[in-house]
Structure 1
């Protein structure tokens, strides 16, 4: 049986004797390398823990099970295992996209480990709900088209999806880097995880969190509209909402300096 360190390709950097640990959790199709500018900004003062979600990055591909990861609760269990195995405390959890929600659910389940939460472009629910007025950004028809494109020609889909969500067309290397990590995921795993993410609904959980949270959005995120950030801010107790002056779904990649200063003032 693999250790969590092996399974999740865990890397520990920064100050071993620091009182607080920052854990960085990457979003769908990304990996831990996306946080490099943030790691460099914090490693002098904090212990840093980096990991890859099972099914992505350099995590153990053999650890992926469609039943365990049919919902994001499988990843919540993984994060709990990581916290215990590394015996962490005073954790500042910085989660991008789906990993923001994984961090929030983990903080509800294992609150004693956590000190603060930073949710970068995160969402509890991606599907619109016209009957209640909830705006998530997607409808089921759009998701079916997305799944179909992933099934038909995964690499073409990955390239187009990367350009769509990263934006910042004046810096094409940003989308190219994301397309590269996205394309390295096995197509069947990517489709399985995408369904678990895009069809999840954790809105009822938001009010259960007792950990101070910083919600970070960009001015124009095609995956997580501003209404989602405002919804989370209203429903997560003790939360703050900050907008970074950049477009796209990757504020830590397209505007790392601004994200670093927002996090520093929060923690």
Structure 2
């Protein structure tokens, strides 16, 4: 559910396989680290321009989070919400993500 998209795609299948092959104690430790990490207070200290690419439907990180990042980063940023689902849209929707990347790599963020 978190990955979203085509569950039969090779990239999603490989990612799922990797997760299921992880020792449960290690998987639990990684999960706890992710959900208990709170770095919201350091956003204002970010000094590099940020391109925030967001899927329209992400169970792990909803669109409101990307907007919050955009408003609270200490640098210029842009948000692009792509018509995709899931937290790992590069795996589940590469046909949407790949064309977007060069534009963000080429273009500087303007105030």
* TM-score when normalising by structure 1: 0.36
2:98 aligned with 1:260, yes or no? yes
Deviation (angstroms), 1:226: 1.0
> Among 60, 68, 75, which residue is 1:231 paired with?
68
Counterparts of 1:172 and 1:195, CA distance in 2: 25
Could you say which residue in structure 1 is the equivalent of 2:47?
210
**Unmatched 5+ residue regions in structure 2?**
106-111
Ranges in structure 1 where 5+ consecutive residues have no aligned partner: 1-163
Output the CA distance in 2 between the equivalents of 1:177 and 1:239. Answer: 32
**Equivalent position of 1:185 in the other structure:** 22
Q: How many residues align?
A: 102
| Contact map agreement 1:244 1:251 (CA 8 A) in 2 | no
Whole-angstrom CA distance in 2 between matches of 1:255 and 1:188: 30
**Any idea what SS the aligned residue of 1:173 has?**
coil
More helix by share: 2
Deviations 1:97-139 (A, max 9, x none): xxxxxxxxxxxxxxxxxxxxxxxxxxxxxxxxxxxxxxxxxxx
Structure number with higher relative contact order (C-alpha < 8 Å, ≥ 6 residues apart): 2
Deviation at residue 246 of structure 1 after TM alignment = 0.9
**Cα RMSD (Å) of the superposition?**
1.4
Residue 172 of structure 1 aligns to a residue whose secondary structure is: coil
